[in-house]
Copies of this chain bind each other. A is one copy, B any other.
Amino acid sequence: MTHPLDPVFSALADPTRRAILTMLLEDDMAVTDVAEPFQMSLAAISKHLGILADAGLITRERRGRVIWCKLEPDALRAASVWMQGFGQFEPVDLDAFERFLETELSDPPDAGPDRSDQSSDDRA
């Protein structure tokens, strides 16, 4: 892992971690709340968050008992810039954008948050 881009792409390669980033896009979240929609242990989510943090994609800040996770888009932008180097494609392409949405919804049953209803959830 010599190149600084390695841990970023490596972190993005996991659908759980991408789902977490998507959730954090909406708002900062506590670790427990991040873990809630997933069918895996809190420890597993904690590891995923560690990987995301090591890649610089998120930061974590303790406030009392709770650790808040915050998206850090700068690392993402660095990777994005690398890919733009290959781009004969423009940054904001609506067609590609809808393809993105389409693929996001085709998430497998237990690999991502079920965004249809998230009751019993109160943050902040």
Contacts and interface: CB of A to CB of B under 8 A. Distances in A.
Interface of A: 2-6, 9-10, 12-15, 18, 21-22, 25-26, 71, 73, 76-89, 91-94, 96-109, 111-112, 115
A77 B89 CA distance: 7
A83 B71 CA distance: 13
Contacts of A102: 104-105, 109
A81 to B, nearest CB: 4
Contacts of A104: 82, 98, 101-102
A100 B103 contact: no
The 6 closest A-B pairs by CB, nearest first: A10-B13, A9-B13, A81-B96, A9-B12, A2-B108, A101-B101
Q: Which of A15, A98, A107 has the most CB of B within 10 A?
A: A98
B86 A25 contact: yes
A3 B103 contact: yes
Q: Which of A4, A14, A81, A98 has the most CB of B within 10 A?
A: A81
B15 A6 contact: yes
A85 B25 contact: yes
A57 B3 CA distance: 20
